[in-house]
A and B are shown apart, each in its own frame.
Chain A
Amino acid sequence: MMWTPLAAYLLLILGLLGAMMGRITWPAVRTAFSDEALLAAIRLSLETSFVSALLSVLVAIPAGYALSRSRFPGLAALDTVLDIPIVLPPLIIGLAVLIFFSTPFGRWVDRLNGPEGWIIYHPAGIVLVQFLIGAAIAVRVVKAGFDNVDERYENVAWTLGANRWQAFAKVAAPLVWPNVAAAAIISWARIFGLFGPVILVAGTMRERTEIMPTTIFLEISIGRLEVALVVGAMMVAISMATLIAFKKIGGKGYFW
């Protein structure tokens, strides 16, 4: 009885994957793997998503701790602002980034490296939109971990001579390791397939800013549905391998 909904849901997922795999042909696989642009897109997808997930977690650990341990007027409002990237449609985030970088200050930031810019229509733009969404999720998950760590551990650590940083690094942070791993998993999973804001901010220029989700869009738009499906299947395989690796690294936490 309890297994029926789970079995039905699993069948649905496997059915969809099976239908997708069934349409893939060997010539399409050969075409995909011999296409330099596609291989560059795979590389850029992996690089940008891992960098963004890493940045998200690096920001989430201190930010989650600060939010969990601080008490000041306006904390609830600040907490809500941090949820905005989670609830906003990703396209709006991309649009907001584009508008920001069209302001004088944004243009100045973008052209710090030269007149060609380094964010808009560049891989850094992909990382920026992925990070904006990934960090919001990571902060939420890591904060939940710190909320569950009894503050008395840090209080006792202080009386044992540990300053705030030492109590954080030696006592509180190690206790939220499963949450940090979960934050990495969830934020990476969310941003690996991100499409709308990426295409708005970075475009999809072959071998420059093309990533796997935008490849699928490009392949469909030129009528190569089978090649798009090969890329989709590769994304499934990469996602499964990465998620399994993350779970192994993170150990048994409450998210799995």
Chain B
Amino acid sequence: MTGSGIEIAGLSFSIGDFRMERLDLSVEEGEYLVLSGPNGAGKTVLTKLVCGLLAPASGKISILGRDVTATPPWKRRVGYVPQDSPLFPNRGVRGNIEFGLEVAGVSKAERRKTAEGMAEKLGIERMLDRGVAGLSGGERQKVCLARALVLRPDVLVLDEPVSAIDEESRAEICAFLRDEHERTGVTAIHVSHNSEETAMLADRMARMESGSVAEILAGRKKSGSGG
């Protein structure tokens, strides 16, 4: 870990009764930060602010040293996996995974190769030519992950990516995330309520409460490796 992966400084935002005031949070480059906290603490709001899907009232967000506060989401290079795996229903599995590459103007042959490589890593290569309607929760989430990761994003933002799927798929996806993180060293923020998931993945844990970071703890992964 060399520099700042995600730097959040003095971030304020409000919507309805929810208030986030002058939130500071720093995620080192290559670090895997797990964000936890009760419902309504502001975890999802924070992930959306990092992705650019919500605009802060004040404050600054930097990604790999680049101020992205006023940058639109399509230029931030953030891989986003939201809750409940919203796959585009008008596209099949392959069409979903290739979406970002298609928008970026990557050739069809290259798109195909990249999507197949990522699908193989996630064990969903046999589903590539299927529609998305009949996929299980675990399969949907793997397609979501593949769709975000094929673009090799600068940072990864995962909002409860495995909260609504079965135990087996959860373990599989967490193992994949751990390996992928170790291999690529991508900076990640991962929202989770699950202690096993946190133990397996977190370099550090941040607990949010009422729109602010209440506590930051070293993760077991980091403690275990002496980092």
- Residues in A lying within 8 Å of B, measured CB to CB: 150, 152-153, 155-163, 166, 170-171, 174-175
Contacts and interface: CB of A to CB of B under 8 A. Distances in A.
B151 interface: yes
B51 A159 contact: yes
Nearest to A152: B86
Minimum-distance CB pairs A-B, first 10: A160-B100, A159-B80, A158-B73, A152-B86, A174-B90, A162-B103, A161-B103, A161-B100, A163-B74, A158-B74
A157 B74 CA distance: 8
A159 B90 contact: no
Contacts of A152: 82, 86
B187 to A, nearest CB: 15
Given A150-B86, A174-B90, A175-B89, A159 B103 contact: no
Given A153-B88, A166-B103, A171-B88, A158 B151 contact: no
A119 B89 CA distance: 44
A158 B104 contact: no
| Interface magnitude class on chain B | 20 to 34
18 contacts: A153-B88, A155-B73, A155-B80, A155-B82, A156-B82, A157-B103, A158-B52, A159-B52, A159-B79, A159-B148, A160-B74, A160-B100, A160-B151, A161-B104, A162-B74, A162-B99, A162-B100, A170-B103
B76 interface: yes
Contacts of B72: 158, 163
Nearest to B105: A161
Interface in B81-129: 82, 86, 88-90, 99-100, 102-104
B202 interface: no
Given A152-B82, A174-B90, A158 B53 contact: yes
Contacts of A153: 86, 88-89
B78 interface: yes
Given A158-B53, A161-B104, 5 more contacts: A153-B88, A156-B82, A159-B79, A162-B100, A175-B89
Given A162-B74, A171-B88, A171-B90, A157 B99 contact: yes
Contacts of B53: 155, 158-159
Contacts of B148: 159-160
A159 B73 contact: yes
B147 interface: yes
A219 to B, nearest CB: 48
B160 to A, nearest CB: 14
A162 B53 CA distance: 13
Contacts of A163: 72, 74
A204 to B, nearest CB: 45
Contacts of B76: 159
A152 B148 CA distance: 14
A159 B147 CA distance: 11
Given A161-B151, A162-B74, A170-B103, A156 B90 contact: no
B12 to A, nearest CB: 20
Interface in B116-170: 147-148, 151
Interface string B41-67: 000000010011100000000000000
A58 B53 CA distance: 28
B180 to A, nearest CB: 18
Contacts of B52: 158-159
A159 B79 CA distance: 7
